[in-house]
Chains A and B, each alone.
Chain A
Amino acid sequence: MRAGRGAPWMLAVPAAVGLAFLVLPLVGLLVRAPWRTLPQRLAEPAVLEALRLSLVSATLATAVCLVLGVPLAWVLARTRFRGRRLVRSLVTVPMVLPPVVGGVALLLVLGRNGLVGRHLDAAFGITLPFTTAAVVIAEAFVALPFLVITVEGALRAADPRFEEAAATLGASRWTVFRRVTLPLIAPGVLAGGVLCWSRALGEFGATITFAGNFPGETQTMPLAVYLALETDPEAAIVLSLVLLAVSVAILTALRDRWIP
């Protein structure tokens, strides 16, 4: 079948059901949203504060993931060493782990009495839990696998002959990576970054467990939504819609600009 002639029903029907499955819960939010009180609810400083914190921490977490994740993906895709399979499955651990468990694990390592955190506290007087830095760490921990897997996939799909050609012409491995590999896999890196950012933005369990919840310091939008749900479900719906609208707007803008 040629592209552009419409999908066969064996694909179109499940595709439509799949789309409905994803979109219907969103419709539920829109139907139940308290539209009349929306403006005054949005103007509350607590909402803007949580939104700002969410955007800043998700962006910082994505930056951390890019700096650490792209090299990790390269090592997994381009080098051979014993135990590489094990390393690859270890990378996916944060995806399988319930985020709350991830948060507890982070506390056990980076907390005030944690394996590493204990020394940070003794040597530098740094305690991570309950700080914005802890929010970034928790989000990066949960989001990193999404970036690594996407970029590794892009690296495997990229034609190795370009890299080989550059190498035979005398380029060092670093130069090859910088000048050939990275431009080749740029769409993959971007897709991974977007996935990573989205996951970080929605992060709840690891954040509330490792970083705690304090307005202006560690209370991101998902945390604010969860607590609002306890007493004021309408406020929770408003907060969810704000988070959704902002993230969809940012992702659409990115897509138009970077992915044709």
Chain B
Amino acid sequence: MFKRALTLALPALLALTTAACGGSSGDGAAKETTLTVFAAASLTETFTELGKSFEAANDGVTVKFNFGSSATLAQQITQGAPADVFAAASPATMQTVADAALAEAPTTFVSNKLEIAVPAGNPAKVDDFADLANKGVKVALCAEQVPCGAAAKKAIEAAGLKITPVTLEQDVKATLTKVTLGEVDAALVYRTDVIAAGDKVEGIEFPEAEKAINDYPVAVLKNAPAKDLAQLFVTLVLSQQAKDLFTKAGFTTTP
């Protein structure tokens, strides 16, 4: 009985080990065919497009993306996830990776500004930032632990307002969803999210947003399996072509 199980298991075991070997032997530049990019969820649209033009420019290269909350991505990287490039939605999350000596020279490539998002038609007649403190105006904010929440807190403090939200959402997209569904009257989200939501929401700019600008750093990771490609990708992210794309999406780029 034991013998039979062994004869069955052996080929499978062999197949596994050979597969593992095949995966780890790609250190020559010619074999770097996959680039793995970890990027903040708010970069989903722009980075996907950049990835496509990167693949078109580099024959035989596939770009794999892992989009998610910057903090979660930072944790995955410090726990040893095999990533080549990290683009974070806040300097703090990039710092956790840099503190672990895993990121090489992070560079800020865009910044993002908060805007007030209201459902189409603005049912609660929100005109400015101070209106969010009114009783009867249901407000959704991001939780303080995530970058958009930290920025919201800064802006609210700068304006000296006392806003009692009905919910503190886990990320900016979830906050926006509450607005698009009309469950809240207003929310603080990024300008890029307002633009991405199209005509389902209206955006209202407010001066205190200038006090809570969020910088996005990008870096090649120290243990990158495809370091050369990673460097090339970061160059693309900092290029004029990318800047045009980011501006169109609502990001602020530095000239």
Q: How far is the CB of B53 from chain A (nearest CB, A)?
A: 32
> Quick check: A113 and B174 within 8 Å, CB to CB?
no
**Chain A 111-159 residues near chain B, CB threshold 8 A:** 111-113, 129-130
B48 CB within 8 Å of chain A: no
Asked whether A218 lies within 8 Å of B167 as measured between CB atoms, the reply is: yes
| A208: interface (CB < 8 Å) | yes
Instruction: Please report the C-alpha to C-alpha distance between residue A215 and residue B138 in the assembled complex, in whole angstroms.
Output: 16
Interface size of A as a range: 20 to 34
Given the interface pairs A112-B183, A129-B183, the reply to whether A226 lies near B170 with Cβ below 8 Å is: yes
Cα(A29)–Cα(B25), bound, Å: 34
User: Is A130 within 8 A of B167, CB to CB?
Assistant: yes
Among B71, B75, B168, B177, contact of A213 (Cβ-Cβ < 8 Å): B168
- Nearest CB to that of A219 among chain B residues? B168
- The distance in angstroms between the C-alpha atoms of A112 and B166, with both chains bound, is 13
A214 surroundings in chain B (CB, below 8 A): 165-168
Stretch from B101-109, B139-147, B206-214 contacting the other chain? B139-147
Which residues on A sit within 8 Å (CB–CB) of B169? 208, 212-213
- Number of residue pairs spanning A and B whose beta carbons lie under 8 angstroms apart: 64
Please name all residues of chain B whose beta carbon is closer than 8 Å to the beta carbon of A208 when the two chains form the complex: 169-170, 174
Nearest CB on A from B70, distance (A)? 9
A228-B145, A231-B71 given; A113·B183 CB < 8 A? yes
Shortest beta-carbon distance from A253 to chain B in Å: 33
Question: In the complex, what residues of A have CB within 8 A of residue B181's CB?
Answer: 104, 107-108, 111, 113
Q: Is the CB of B140 within 8 A of A212?
A: yes
List chain B positions with a Cβ less than 8 A from chain A.
1, 69, 71-72, 75, 138, 140, 143, 145-146, 165-170, 174, 177-178, 181-183
**A residues within 8 Å of B by Cβ?**
10, 104, 107-108, 111-113, 129-130, 208-209, 212-215, 218-219, 223, 226-233
